[in-house]
């Protein structure tokens, strides 16, 4: 049911933890399943993401997608990190079962929430970044549905 990559990132999640004094931090949840994800980003003066860490209180797919999402955004610019969509995360994991697609949305929204926090703290606007929702259920049936 799950790809080897999903199982690997679930069993050995990368970048678990917190960043002290992060450049941006965002928390999102899904009211339907009750899962919560928090993403921390450390962004340097050139807008490059030096470090990304996460804490996920959620299902295995949520853990695997947060792990992969943090791996994908590391070393990227803020703009490039916006391209790390839930589809990109799923592709990098060799797919997720349809019932678990919503879990990958948590990862995308958590990145966006952390970037939003970073933008607010620095009084900048990140082109293409929409104000994140705290409950991703609101977004599930809209642009992200597959």
Nearest to 38, CA basis, from 112, 131, 89, 96? 112
DSSP type of residue 131: P
Residue 58 or residue 132: which is nearer to ligand FES going by CB?
58
Q: Does 58 bind ligand FES (CB under 6 A)?
A: yes
Q: Does 108 bind ligand FES (CB under 6 A)?
A: no
Alpha helix (H) ranges present in the chain?
A: 4-11, 60-73, 78-81, 86-92, 101-121, 137-140
How many CB atoms lie under 10 A from the CB of residue 109?
27
59 part of the active site: no
Q: Does 117 bind ligand FES (CB under 6 A)?
A: no
CA–CA dist 94, 3 (Å, integer) = 6
Q: Tokens 């860490």 — which residue?
A: 53
Span of 5-13, 55-63, 77-85, 120-128 interacting with ligand FES by CB under 6 A: 55-63
103 part of the active site: yes
Q: Does 52 bind ligand FES (CB under 6 A)?
A: no
Binding test (CB under 6 A) with ligand FES, winner from 96, 103, 111, 115: 103
Residues in the chain, total: 146
Name the minimum Å distance from CB 58 to ligand FES. Answer: 5
Residue ranges that bind ligand FES, judged by CB under 6 A: 30, 33, 35, 58-59, 61-62, 100, 103, 106
């Amino acid at each position: 049911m799950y790809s080897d990559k999903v199982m690997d990132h679930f069993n050995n999640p990368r970048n678990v933890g917190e960043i002290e004094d992060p450049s941006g931090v965002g928390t999102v949840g899904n009211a339907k399943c009750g899962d919560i994800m928090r993403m921390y980003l450390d962004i340097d003066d050139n807008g490059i993401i030096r470090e990304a860490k996460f804490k996920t209180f959620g299902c295995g797919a949520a853990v695997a997608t947060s792990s992969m999402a943090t791996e994908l955004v590391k070393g990227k610019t803020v703009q490039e990190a916006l391209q790390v969509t839930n589809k990109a995360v799923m592709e990098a994991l060799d797919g997720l079962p349809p019932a678990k697609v919503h879990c990958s949305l948590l990862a995308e929204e958590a990145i966006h929430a952390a970037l939003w926090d970073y933008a607010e703290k620095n009084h900048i606007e990140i082109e293409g970044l929409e104000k994140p929702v705290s409950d991703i259920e609101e977004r599930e049936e809209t642009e992200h549905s597959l």
